[in-house]
Amino acid sequence: MTLVSMTIEDHVAVVLLDNPPVNMGNHAMRSALLSALDEISASDASAVVIASAGRHFYAGSDISEFDRPLEAPQLPQVIAAVEALPIPVVAAINGLALGGGFELALGCDGRVMEPDAKVGLPEVTLGFAPGAGGTVRTARLIGVPDAIRLVTSARQLTADQALAAGIADRVVPRERLLSEAIEFARSLGGKRILRDAPVPEASDEEIDAAVAEIHKRARPNVLRAAEMVRRAAQLPGPEALVAERALFDELRVAEEAVNLRYLFFGKRTAAKDLSSEARPVRISSVGVAGAGTMGAALVRAFARAGYATKVIDAKPELARRVADETDGADVASSFAEIAACDLVIDAVFEDMDVKRAFFTEIDAAASDATILASNTSYLDLAEMSSDLSHRNRFIGMHFFNPADRNPLVEVIPLEFTDPDVIATIASVAGRLGKSAIRAGNADGFVANRVYAEYRSQVELLVEDGAAPQDVDAALTGFGFAMGPFAVADMSGLDIAWSRRKRQASSRNPRERYSHIADRLCEAGRFGRKSGAGWYQYPDGATRGEVDPVTEQIIAEARAERVAAARQVGSEEVVARALAAMVFAAADLVESGVARRASDIDVAMTEGFAFPKHHGGPLRHVASWPAQRQSDAFAALYDSDPERYGIFRRDGEELPPHIRRVLDDSRSA
């Protein structure tokens, strides 16, 4: 296969990159491109155009190479060869030019884009910084403040935005991209090397303002990337490139970047797992039943993704409001109208009878091709679909709040679900921009099961002596955006309470159970929406305050225990909370409800904001020294010997299924 081809017509060399499916930059393509450039240097060409033979100019680098020493030629060497040519080189950009692809384009003397093309530097999202001139050349092209914004935001610029910023020289119709790029290359008449260009003037105040826009929770690599832009502007171009590459090489092998690559490939593996030999069916229209919080978010998500979306609700005024607020959404007047959609998804009340009645009515009106999906969080999908005549078209599609912004979706096929339905739902999830994992049909599926164990454990920590605010502080200190009690108040305590009441009859009476959350709910304290939960929210405040009523309920619960309350430190909070997650995760993988360790790490980082730089709960705990692991699981055992009795107290190995998921997360 020819990754790079070169032809010379009328003294213009046209270099075509052809590494399908996305023109990913790897060692083979870099080598082929460098060879083509060497060939051009010995030719009679008076100009060069670098273009794509596929749908993307150069969508980025093969990040799997970053886990090992990079082979020569590395990208800076290729770009240096572009700049060393004595003739002008123009990039003809179609599709995506991201990361290394954008840096290659910046190394050219000009850039012509088609209207749908996009450029950007996404490196900070993977834990490192641009390393092939991204900070150096953008600082010289658009100025330090805007270069800082571009590099630290990882934002993709459209062709029009790139033109307005001065990054693109021309935006031309797609069908004329190559011919216009050739004409532009001929017109340049000489080199325009950004590496050596002067930096546009900017005051310290303007630069500081750009840095101040960086999110306050940004990881250190983002701040270092911003500083590299500032430093790149102060150094001569060649020295700046050396400094930038040194930072890139340092950050790409650091733990954060390694963990983020693990999650990147974990998402890719999970998506591939949902693909099959079956071909997805085209979905054009989506019907959403329910216009409450979840239903409204689903309507927004599907309409934004370009689906013709209909919504229905028992309260027509709710459906109308959602439709009025959402471009591309309409109100359905009957279930028959909803059933005529290609995909129907429920967001009706989380009750088995309600959901069964809904799907029975939809099933009677639906065609053989209609896909029926339930967004249930906890209910048995097999039972829910037991009366359907189109049972083979039924599947679970569990979204997480807020469904239009939360990136996680669990896809739950049943044993009778057609393969084309699974493939179709996977395709829909991709179009929605979601990270999808496969889950088995079990109570809480995957992510909620792990989070429920985490939530139960932090409640035991409070009963043992930790204040809710201290638990929240320990876990936000670890990296969570919000602590579990603040999250519970925001989500509503009544949701988990309903699940606990459903499970009450099957609960092991010998296992430890904290009644604190139940008593808060019995007192009508459901969180922010009721003005009080674990915290109080006076006058509609969004930030909770310590509440004497909660403290009294906690004190009463502690008094009922045989063990006295004690001081609980932040290290114990983190250790027990994460060990509980691992305990649940290992059980899910062992039982087959989850496919692999990385699926769970993806689910928790995408769906529940587990700090991504740690790689997920399994990945992070697996990085601990053996003694720390042993101590954490011993503390978990102490919290409830009946539930966690599989752990030994004598320092021996962890149970095999626990060890397996930890090892799998480190080796992935």
Q: What is the pLDDT of residue 561?
A: 87
Model confidence, pTM? 0.92
Q: What is the pLDDT of residue 648?
A: 56
Predicted pLDDT of residue 382 = 97
Strands 329-331 and 308-312, sheet pairing = parallel
Structure-block tokens of residue 579: 């060990």
Q: Exposure of 21 by Cβ count < 10 A (0-12 exposed, 13-18 middle, 19+ buried)?
A: exposed
Same-domain pairing of 498 and 534: yes
Token pair 């029009």: residue: 160
One-letter identity of residue 510: R
In contact, 188 and 169? CB cutoff 8 Å: no
CA pair distance 468, 491, nearest whole angstrom: 16
The encoded tokens of residue 423 equal: 């493939």
240 with 302, same domain: the answer is: no
Give the pLDDT of residue 652.
58
Q: Please state the domain count of the chain.
A: 3
Looking at the structure, tell me whether residues 531 and 642 fall in a common domain.
Answer: yes
* Helix (H) and strand (E) counts in the chain: 28, 19
Q: Are 345 and 286 in contact, with CB atoms under 8 Å apart? A: yes
Domain of residue 501, CATH code:
1.10.1040.50
pLDDT number for residue 38: 95
Distance, CA of 24 to CA of 1 (rounded, Å): 15
Scan for tokens 């006058």, then name that residue.
Answer: 539
- 343 DSSP β-pair partners: 286, 371
**Quick one: 431 and 461 in the same domain?**
no
Domain containing 395 equals 274-438
Q: Partners of 15 in the beta sheet?
A: 6, 50
Is 95 within the bounds of a domain?
A: yes
Is residue 320 assigned to a domain? Answer: yes
Which residue, among 567, 576, 559, 549, has the nearest Cα to 643 in the 3D structure?
576
Tell whether 608 is covered by a domain: yes
Rounded CA gap, 376 and 451, in Å?
Answer: 16
Do 171 and 284 fall into the same domain?
no
Q: What is the pLDDT of residue 210?
A: 95
Q: What is the model's pLDDT at position 579?
A: 97
With contact defined as beta carbons under 8 Å apart, do 421 and 413 qualify? yes
Give me the long-range contacts of 186-189 (CB less than 8 A, separation at least 24). 186/12, 186/46, 186/47, 188/47, 188/88, 188/90, 188/109, 188/110, 189/88
Q: Report the alpha-carbon angle 585-591-597, nearest 5.
A: 35
Pairing mode of beta strands 12-17, 343-346: unpaired
Residues 140 and 113 in one domain: yes
Given 371, 403, 438, the domain boundary residue is 438
Contact of 345 with 351, CB cutoff 8 Å: no
Instruction: State the CATH number of the domain containing residue 167.
Output: 3.90.226.10
Q: Which CATH number goes with the domain that contains 371?
A: 3.40.50.720
pLDDT tens digits for 118-128? 999 999 999 99
For residue 406, count other CB atoms closer than 10 A to its CB: 18
Please choose, from the candidates 554, 510, 511, the residue with its C-alpha nearest in 3D space to the C-alpha of residue 533. 554
C-alpha to C-alpha distance for 402 and 297, rounded to whole angstroms: 6
**Which residue ranges of the chain lie beneath pLDDT 50?**
650
Are residues 283 and 184 part of one domain? no
Q: Among 339, 344, 334, which residue's Cα sits nearest to residue 314?
A: 334
**Residue 532, amino acid:** A
For residues 299 and 352, state if they share a domain: yes
Residue 263 lies in a domain: no
Determine, yes or no, domain membership for 267.
no
Q: What is the pLDDT of residue 5?
A: 95
Residues 656 and 552 in one domain: yes
| Cα(224)–Cα(230) distance, integer angstroms | 10
- Asked whether residue 64 is domain-assigned, the answer is yes
> Does residue 266 belong to any structural domain of this protein?
no
Sequence letter at residue 586: A
Q: Which residues contact 320 (CB under 8 A, 6 or more apart)?
A: 331
- Helix residue spans in 465-562 (DSSP H): 468-478, 484-491, 493-503, 516-522, 548-559
Q: Give every CB contact of residue 237 below 8 A, 6+ residues apart in sequence.
A: 136, 140, 195, 196, 197
* CA–CA distance, 382 with 325 (Å, rounded to integer): 35
CB atoms within 10 A of CB 442: 17
The distance between the two most distant Cα atoms of the chain, rounded to a whole number of Å, is 91
Residue 523: per-residue pLDDT: 95
Helix (H) or strand (E) holding 450: helix 447-464
Strand 285-289 to 170-171 pairing: unpaired
Is residue 142 within 8 Å of residue 232, measured between CB atoms? Answer: no
Strand-pair partners of 486:
none
Whether the CB-CB separation of 248 and 130 falls below 8 Å is answered with yes
Q: Which residues are catalytic?
A: 103, 123
Residues 479, 351 share a domain: no
Task: For residues 352 and 375, state if they share a domain.
Answer: yes
| CA 306/CA 316 separation, integer angstroms | 24
Instruction: Check if the beta carbon of residue 532 is closer than 8 Å to that of residue 553.
Output: no
pLDDT at site 503: 83
d(CA 96, CA 155): 12
For residue 258, is it within any domain? no
Which of 438, 456, 475 terminates a domain? The answer is 438
Question: Among 409, 438, 467, which residue terminates a domain?
Answer: 438
208 lies in the same domain as 177:
yes
